[in-house]
Structure 1
Amino acid sequence: MQHVILYTKETCTLCDEAELLLSLFMETHPFELEKRDIYTNDEWLAKFQLEIPVIEMNGKQLYGEGISYESIEKLFLKQ
């Protein structure tokens, strides 16, 4: 089973949308979703503060407004 990490923070509309888009793939591409609040880890905060949401799978990442149904689909199809 794939492991997907969603870097997020509280009160983040783009993060909510990214999570919703990911949920559309759960049935056809089963995966485990790990949500990481960037404010709980200084390294994540420094790395992703201006980039969230960030979706990471197998070392590949999608950032912010570049996250769409199509970009997530491509990420899953590359696996």
Structure 2
Amino acid sequence: MDIVFYTRKKCSLCVDAKNILEILQNDYPINIVEKDIDTNEEWTEKYGLMIPVIEIDGEIIQSGLVDLFVLEEKIKSKLL
């Protein structure tokens, strides 16, 4: 399963979210597709105030402060 991770440089919440995704990647068959919003004007406009943003199947699962347990439950439900 692909998880799209919208991020940007110098974002401490993004670093925390990436660590959570990498932890979950050890237990679930997920592929992290990282997208730096500063490389795309549309992403910057859409997600600039929300990052980090985690999206699965076109649905925003979490943004801002990412919670490991909430994200894990969502991943589990998508894998079933």
Bigger mean CA offset, 35-44 vs 69-78: 69-78
Q: Separation in 1 of the partners of 2:42 and 2:7?
A: 13
State the number of aligned residues: 77
Shift of 1:30: 1.5
Match in the other structure for 2:55: 56
Task: Kindly provide the amino acid, as one letter, of the partner of residue 55 in structure 2.
Answer: E
Task: Kindly provide the amino acid, as one letter, of the partner of residue 77 in structure 1.
Answer: K
Q: Separation in 2 of the partners of 1:16 and 1:32?
A: 17
Task: Kindly provide the amino acid, as one letter, of the partner of residue 54 in structure 1.
Answer: V
Match in the other structure for 2:4: 5
More helix by percentage: 2
| 1:29 and 2:9 correspond | no
Q: Which structure 1 residue ranges, 5 or more long, are not aligned?
A: none
Shift of 1:31: 1.2
Task: Kindly provide the amino acid, as one letter, of the partner of residue 16 in structure 2.
Answer: E
Q: Separation in 1 of the partners of 2:63 and 2:77?
A: 17
Question: TM-score scaled to structure 2, two decimals?
Answer: 0.90
Question: TM-score scaled to structure 1, two decimals?
Answer: 0.91
The DSSP-based 3-state class of the residue aligned with 2:28 is coil
